[in-house]
Amino acid sequence: MYLFFLGNIYNQVRDNPKEQRLYKKLKALYNYQKCHGTDAILSKRLRDLRVKLATDGASKSSFYSKCIFTEGGVKCGERSLPLAKHCQKHILEVCMHIKKIIS
Residue boundaries of the structural domains of the chain: 9-59, 70-102
Cα distance between residue 84 and residue 95, in whole Å: 12
What's the N-to-C CA distance of the chain in angstroms? 89
User: Across residues 58-68, what is the average pLDDT?
Assistant: 70
Contact 78, 67 (CB under 8 A): yes
Question: Is pLDDT of 4 > 60?
Answer: no
Task: Determine if the pTM surpasses 0.85.
Answer: no
The mean pLDDT of the chain is: 82
Task: Give just the sign of the alpha carbon dihedral 23, 25, 27, 29.
Answer: negative
Kindly indicate the confidence band of residue 60, based on its pLDDT and cuts at 50, 70 and 90. low
Contact 90, 69 (CB under 8 A): yes
Q: Which helix (H) or strand (E) is 71 found in, with range?
A: strand 70-71
